[in-house]
Structure 1
Amino acid sequence: MDVVERCARLIRFDTTNRGGGDSEGEREAAEFVAAELSAAGVEPTLLERKPRRTNVIARVEGSDPALPPLLVQAHLDVVPAQAADWDVHPFSGELRDGYLWGRGAVDMKDMVANLLTVVAGWQARGSRPRRDVVLAFVADEEDAGDYGAHWLVAEHADLFRDCVAAIGESGGHTHRVNGIHFYPVGTAERGSSHLRLTARGRAGHGSRRNDENAVTRLVQAVQRLAEHRWPVRLIPSVQAYIEQVGAALGVEVDLSDVDGTVARLGGAASLVESTIRNSTTPTALTAGYKVNVIPSTAEALIDTRVLPGGEAELLATVDELIGPHVRRELINPQPGVQAPLDSPWFGAMADALRWADPAAVVVPYCLGGGTDAKAFARLGIPGYGFSPLWVPEGFDYRAMAHGVNERVPVEGLEFGVRVLDRFLSGV
């Protein structure tokens, strides 16, 4: 079985995660992964906090037991897909025009298929990596990780405690700008400090004056948050990205005018424009039950993203903006994370990418959202976004994850196998 068939098989397992514990479950995909590992001579362990929410953990022994192991983590669940919106059925795993189509094709069943193919290749060649490689194929990344990585870290930490670093999703793909092949590797992630805002006031008749209207108080607080211009705050990963990409493109880099510099990066700006500052984005409003009744409470949800180390500063500003009549509540807060830029891990990833694509310009970057790297960071394991994928000219990779008609180039899958094999075998 080659990488394309493995990825197609994985896509055909409906592992939809609708959030809040509502999921089809990862069991069948996990059993497929376990069978592939067993066939490659690697013993898998299946772990579940809840039936069908299945995680697969395995350890590939390296040739040098003195070296600490590397963790490679990938998730088996996917976000929902409406079949009526797609050109092909989202769980068909259809091969068409050089692309493999389906939900999870780039987020991230491609990486799962690549890893299984690398491990199978080691067995076929009679080879193995230098150091132990711990493989974690996890559930529930597309929600809170309560049945996946965060649960594993809380209840089965011994499986990972000796790992010296980790790689996972969101990094190592081709990002073409002005003929330059950039390959961003994730070295940081903004944290989430999502907020529930509750405004309280005096209930009453809608026709009467009411200076304590909870809806008005909430709307005004939300507007202040939405309009607030958060200051530029450069963390090392973001500054390095701006400087290195600017140098490669030959544009002026002026860190006293970060917004202007980012604008000059052109097509490379999309990977950094959301990570030069924190953000508070209103996403949901709930209030009232009848048009002529002023309710006593009103609620809003705010998608709040914060750069590593900036949580206290952000929340202090939020408190000033929302005012005295609105209470805030943090929803599943997760601090931002960052890994060293000058590590041997980053250097080895860059070497593997340049080996596969001599034109590669490998740069660090910060993810605007988040991954399961945050869970493993709780064990002191620095995480890197590295799921290598070659992307052809004109292919909008960033529109694929969670998007309609998600698909992955076949040539990209084959590239990913080569790069992962090179990296994992020699690091």
Structure 2
Amino acid sequence: MADVVELCADLIRFDTTNRGGGDAEGERDAAEYVAARLSDAGIEPKIIESAPRRANVLARIPGTDPTLPGMLVQGHLDVVPADAADWTVPPFSGEVRDDYLWGRGAVDMKDFIAMVLSFAPTLRPRRDIVLAFVADEEDKGEYGAHWLAAEHRDLFEGCVASISESGGYTYHVPDASGRDVRLYPVGTAERGTAHLRLTARGRAGHGSRPNDDNAVTKLVGALHRVAAHRWPVNLTPTVRAFLERTGQALGVPVDLSDVDGTVARLGPAGALVVPTVRNSTTPTMLNAGYKVNVIPSIATAQLDVRVLPGTEEALFAELDVLLGDVEREFVAHQPPVEARIDSPWFDAMADALRAEDPEAVVVPYCMGGGTDAKAFSPLGIDCYGFAPLYLPPGFPYRAMAHGVDERVPVEGLRFGARVLERFLTTC
């Protein structure tokens, strides 16, 4: 097995910053590196560009049993911007310091790609493994996963399950007696993302005169109703299972008629589930007017809506009531996804984690944000967040992705590579 730390450091040194709106080009250099490592392992990769230098790497590793359905292993090559002035170490240095590997992408998600590259030469899976290391996840996926799913669907033929980022990492929490319990949340669902543009229309006029058809006041009133609305608890199968299994592991009473109280009793573990017991509608942008003494005829806003699996229809119906005569339209819309919890895939992930950490408590959880799973799930693929890492107590993992001083423990990387190789060999 190649050293996963060196591979990850190499990947970090490729500046694959994605500034959004098509402003990215470093993915091509990283893609060529990944393709070369796969070629060295005897695997035949393809580099497919959706636009100049917006590169995606695809490869298929044949399994020993052609009757089994395939598994997609997908990750993204791009990263969000990093301002070196804010960092302790240069963000694209790939430096190892104090037993951590530092750099943009260390946990989001060049670590995962490095893990796969580290054991690719010796991987002998039972089923076909399709590798997809893609561009543009940190924007809209239009040059990466969503483009591939639309234009190159045949490359994923036979795949029925997928693994990718945001799951399988150590989350230390105390039980009722104060004993440290090591949770490993595996992503089995994601809230959907709907970015909405709201438009209020009224009668233009002079700011000094009464106007009962003021677009600005219409919009402000609607936004106040939306912001003040308390969305009800919606327990999806993933969130219900998280509460029940985590409560049992911690010795904490679980009362599903009082979800907020249960979440509070879970202590630090409750932070994993707080964003996913309800839908959310958050006003984020406002625009109206061009002169202080002119009442404009149009006022607009944008709303960040996050919606749980199975609740979209009810949410938008209620939102329309709250908006009244304010119009809404989608700026972006990616529906929620949810994979099966009680499945051989989840069981195999849990087994692989417990083989390396016998005290691992593996639980399903729902991601509050989104990943490229939203591109592959419509292809009939069950998508799981499983990028295993061992993390020490107190490590601020949730602050690492997109944060300053992103880093990953070197031994955690090696743990993750062992878990991932075991899973892909035995699943």
TM-score, normalised with respect to structure 1: 0.97
Per-residue deviation, residues 393-416 of structure 1 (Å, max 9, x unmatched):
110100001111111111111011
| Equivalent in the alignment of 2:281 | 280
> Are 2:136 and 1:140 aligned?
yes
Quick one: distance in 2 between partners of 1:249 and 1:206?
60
SS in 2 for 1:378: helix
Q: Is the 8 A contact 2:78 2:136 kept in 1?
A: yes
Match of 2:177 in 1: none
Letter in 1 for 2:197: R
| Separation in structure 1 between the aligned mates of residue 222 and residue 280 of structure 2, nearest angstrom | 15
Query: Which residues in structure 2 correspond to 1:188-267 (within 5 Å)?
Result: 188-267=189-268
Q: What is the CA-CA distance between 1:332 and the residue it aligns to?
A: 2.0
Q: Report SS of the residue matched to 2:51.
A: coil
- CA-to-partner distance for each residue in 1:205-225, whole Å, 9 max, x for gaps? 222222222122111111211
Distance 2:20 2:284 in 1: 16
RMSD: 1.1
- Equivalent residue, structure 1, for 2:362: 362
Q: For residue 14 of structure 1, what is the aligned residue in structure 2?
A: 15
SS at match of 1:370: coil
Is the 1:91–1:103 Cα contact (8 Å) retained in structure 2?
yes
Offset at 1:102?
A: 1.0
| Deviation per residue, 1:50-83 (Å, 9 max, x gap) | 0111000001112222212111000011111122
- Judge conservation of contact 1:215–1:298 (CA < 8 Å) in 2: yes
* % identity of equivalent residues: 70
Cα deviations across residues 126-174 of structure 1 (Å, max 9, x unaligned)? x511111100001111111111111101110011021021111110000
SS at match of 1:371: coil
Cα distance in 2 for partners of 1:90, 1:208 equals: 55
Per the alignment, residue 130 of structure 1 pairs with: 126
Post-superposition Cα deviations, 1:74-115, rounded to whole Å, max 9, x if no partner, equal 001111112211112211111111111111110000001011
Q: After superposition, give the CA deviation of every residue in 1:360-412 in whole Å (9 maximum; x if it has no partner).
A: 00000111111111111111001010000111111010000111111111111
**2:14 and 2:26 in contact (8 A); partners too:** no
Give the match for residue 374 of structure 1: 374
3-state DSSP of counterpart to 1:274: helix
**1:93 aligned residue:** 94
SS at match of 1:158: helix
1:46 maps to 47
Conserved in 1, the CA contact under 8 Å of 2:49 and 2:55?
A: yes
Aligned counterpart, 2:404: 404
**Which residue of 2 is the match for residue 418 of structure 1?**
418
- Three-state SS of the structure 2 residue aligned to 1:308 is coil
Alpha-carbon contact 1:19-1:143 (below 8 Å) kept = yes
User: Is residue 161–residue 379 contact of structure 1 (8 Å, CA) maintained in 2?
Assistant: no
Cross-structure match for 1:115: 116
Determine if contact 1:129/1:426 at 8 Å carries over to the other structure.
yes
1:383 corresponds to which residue?
A: 383
Secondary structure (helix, strand or coil) at the match of 2:333 reads coil
Consecutive unaligned residues of structure 1, counting only runs of 5 or more, are none
1:347 counterpart letter in structure 2:
D
Q: Point out 4+ residue stretches in structure 1 off by more than 3 angstroms.
A: none
Amino acid at match of 2:338: Q
- Aligned partner letter, 1:39: D
- Which whole-Å CA distance do the structure 2 matches of 1:224 and 1:142 have between them? 31
Partner of 1:310: 311
Q: Does the 8 A contact of 2:164 with 2:386 survive in 1?
A: yes
In 1: Cα distance, 2:355 partner to 2:252 partner:
27
Quick check: 195-204 or 268-277, which moved more?
195-204
Per the alignment, residue 77 of structure 2 pairs with: 76
The Cα of 1:245 is off from its aligned counterpart by 0.5
Q: Distance in 2 between matches of 1:372 and 1:425?
A: 24
User: TM-score normalised to the size of structure 2?
Assistant: 0.97
- 1:106 aligns to what? 107
How many residues were matched structurally? 421
Give the secondary-structure state (helix, strand or coil) at the position aligned to 2:184.
strand
Q: Distance in 1 between matches of 2:354 and 2:250?
A: 18
Query: Are the equivalent residues in 2 in contact too, given 1:118–1:420 (CA < 8 A)?
Result: no
Counterpart contact for 1:200–1:298, Cα < 8 Å: yes
Q: CA deviation at 1:35?
A: 0.4
- The alignment partner of 2:19 has SS state of strand
Distance 1:18 1:175 in 2: 31
The DSSP-based 3-state class of the residue aligned with 2:124 is: coil
Aligned amino acid, residue 202 of structure 2: G
